[in-house]
Structure 1
Amino acid sequence: MGHGGDVIAELTTDHREVEQIFGKIEALPPGDSRRKLYADQAIMELVRHSVAEESYLYPAVRKQLPDGDALADKELADHATAERTMKDLEGCDADDPRFDTLMMKLMAEIREHVADEEDNLFPRLRTACTPEMLGKLGDKVRTAKKTAPTRPHPSAPDTPPANKLLAPGVGLVDRLRDMMSGRGKES
């Protein structure tokens, strides 16, 4: 959840962790209940990651890159699409006929988004920002992930200041629900 380093290192590590979870899902046979456990873990990580990006990375993109508004808007649109898929997936058990279709859709959406960030956005941001700026953004992202929601909330605001104000409260409720239900935990 918090790895250290600048914002690009932090978010890239998150990407690798989610990809490892996707690999665990792909290695299991359809209908295996562990697929749902891993899907919940992936969703928890993806939501925290997205909230942190929306709060700090994309505002920096808007400010630091000449076409930052268009880039940030595209990334937010990607998040909105994936969040709707995660919301649909959240209501499915591993043996639900829709589970595999939704899971494959989510993995494709996330993999495309990650490739775009790592191949295009991150290199441009690294060129435009000082190492100090990227380091401070990394600290902010790590802090945001600690209190961010863990469940998809497609109708929640995705831009500052509203998202920064609401995310910690929603995150607290989500973490309490996760704790009480055991969501995302291996037995």
Structure 2
Amino acid sequence: MVRSLAEQSTDELGGPGSVLARQRRDHARLDRLMDRYWSAAGDEGGTVMRDIVQLVFSHAFAEETVLWPAVRRLVPGGEELTAEIEAEHQQINELIARFERTDPDDPGRPRLVAEAFALIRQDIRDEEDRVLPRLQEVLDDAHLARLGAAWEAARLTAPTHPHPAVPRRPPGNVLAGVPLSAYDRTRDVLSPGRRSPVWSFVLAAAAAAAAGGAAAGALRGRAARRP
């Protein structure tokens, strides 16, 4: 019988280093942050939203780079399961990207946030109830721990903002993710608040250059593999 990750202890998930335990910790933190956002006042709301965005996209990148390839390789029906999750990730990407482009006083902002939060919570339930328990059935604790270490390494070097045009699967997401991670993390440090038009232009140019370089690298790689 398949049991949701939410119903299991950390030991049942393979220990604190298991990819399943790491996933659930991130999910629990996201849930707390989303609840906190609605009760936050003033500048605190912006700080909480930045924490949510950074966690959502670094977490999703680690899933798409490390976890979902393992599910596709090892779990019967893994292709269909991960395709559903990737579609949810793409929708979340697009909603948060729209949110980041809107003015803080835009009356449509709360609706975008509500839609994004609802999708994030649906994504969490799909992962914990349907996808990850299937992976648990085919891997022992040692393999779950090794997968967890790889997942954590990917998460710590991942982009931290939405990039809807980036592919959801390796190698495309990895090729784009390396330069975009540097861009995003510089943006997080240097522009925590509302950006000036000049700074926005500089960051947009840097993002375009990063994405263009990644795309060129992917094309060169494909050309090199041709007989």
Task: State how far apart, in whole Å, the 2-side matches of 1:20 and 1:80 are.
Answer: 23
Q: Match of 1:20, as an amino acid?
A: R
TM superposition score normalised by structure 2: 0.75
Q: How many residues matched?
A: 179
Unaligned runs of 5+ in 2: 1-15, 194-227
What is the Cα deviation at residue 94 of structure 1? 4.3
Residue 155 of structure 1 deviates from its aligned partner by 0.2
Whether contact under 8 Å (2:57, 2:161) holds in the other structure is yes
1:113 match: 123
Q: Secondary structure at the match of 1:74?
A: helix
Give 1:63-102 correspondences, 5 Å limit: 63-102=73-112
Contact 1:83/1:152 (8 A) holds in 2: yes
CA contact (8 A) 1:55 1:164 kept: yes
**Counterparts of 1:103 and 1:113 in 2: how far apart (Å)?**
15
**Paired residue for 1:41, among 24, 46, 51?**
51
Contact 1:7/1:138, CA 8 A, preserved across alignment: yes
Aligned-residue offset at 1:93: 4.6
Structure showing greater Rg: 2
**Counterparts of residues 23-172 of structure 1 (less than 5 Å):** 23-28=35-40, 32-172=42-182
In the TM superposition, structure 1's runs of 4+ consecutive aligned residues that sit over 6 Å from their partners are none
Structure with greater contact order relative to length (CA < 8 Å, sep ≥ 6): 1
CA distance in 2, matches of 1:61, 1:40: 30
Query: Matches of 2:108 and 2:22 in 1, distance apart?
Result: 33
2:192 and 2:94 map into 1 onto residues whose CA distance is 23
Distance in 1, Cα, partners of 2:40 & 2:59: 25
Instruction: Write the distance in 2 (CA, Å) between the matches of 1:93 and 1:39.
Output: 14
* SS across alignment from 1:5: coil
Residue matched to 1:179: 189
SS of structure 2 residue aligned to 1:148: coil
Alpha-carbon deviation of 1:36? 2.4
Q: Distance in 2 between matches of 1:90 and 1:43?
A: 10
- Decide which moves more: 87-96 or 131-140: 87-96
Instruction: Compare 156-165 and 136-145 and name the one that shifted more.
Output: 156-165
Q: How far is 1:90 from its partner? A: 1.3
State the one-letter code of the partner of 2:64.
E
SS at match of 1:121: helix
RMSD of aligned C-alpha atoms? Answer: 1.6
Contact kept, 8 Å, 2:19 with 2:148, in 1: the verdict is yes
Q: CA deviation at 1:96?
A: 2.0
Separation in 2 of the partners of 1:10 and 1:100? 30
Contact 1:53 1:141 in 2 (8 A): yes
On the 8 A contact 2:85/2:126 being kept in 1, the answer is: no
- Give the CA deviation at 1:128: 1.4
Residue 28 of structure 1 and its aligned partner are, at CA, apart by: 3.0
Q: Which amino acid aligns with 1:7?
A: V
Contact 1:62 1:69 in 2 (8 A): yes
